[in-house]
Copies of this chain bind each other. A is one copy, B any other.
């Protein structure tokens, strides 16, 4: 009944997956210890923080840990150009050039103003057979207007035509974008980190205020200006026991070091 409608029942899903949680290292041993050994395999975790808080660096560790295991990795950069990203990674101790040459790591800069961007990203994520994916960052997607009749749709959506008449920064459009991307990512077998801009001095756990509810985990990076130090908080991690206690960390030539 209604399997071709808008409801999906569990009967057809049960055999697909085991219900046990496997762990995937974040590349930061002390962080792994805080979350029962690592991120749940196949999960999507939001890394949220203000500018300069170390979001990209946390992603570098995550990719680096995969590369050491010989896993296939994809790093999608939206705002930073690839040359700058490599310089930035190098300055905090990561040399990704060998892995790129060995085709283990794919480093891609996406231009959201090009009309095929969504489609290509979906195809790459779903067909690329990656073990780890980084999307750095999610926020520009939520600010992209929906273009009618072409390019943005990944699947046929009867509602799209209506959405386009709403202001592009209204919550329905933001939620549409964020859900679409999380759908890509959850359909992949990869474990994923997604960064999100957190405006300094505002509440919420992401700029879009929706992705924190869709993600399996949230790692919050923050800067305590008064104390002059950096803090990492595990805000949410489905299927994982964790503390809410912030831990201090610093950024050095070897990346993030939790104290």
Contact = CB atoms under 8 A, between A and B. Distances in A.
Contacts of A148: 162
Nearest to A7: B108
**Copies of this protein chain in the complex:** 6
A20 B238 CA distance: 39
A124 B92 contact: no
Interface in A193-234: 197, 199-205, 209, 212-216, 218, 223, 225, 228-229, 233
Contact of A172 (B13, B51, B143): B143
A6 B79 contact: no
A145 B159 contact: yes
A33 interface: no
B13 A117 contact: no
A120 interface: yes
Interface of A: 2, 5-11, 13-14, 16-17, 19-21, 40, 50-52, 79, 81-84, 86-88, 90-92, 95, 97, 100, 106-117, 120-121, 124, 137, 139-140, 143-145, 147-148, 151, 157-159, 162-163, 166-172, 175-176, 179, 186, 197, 199-205, 209, 212-216, 218, 223, 225, 228-229, 233, 235-241, 243-246, 251-253
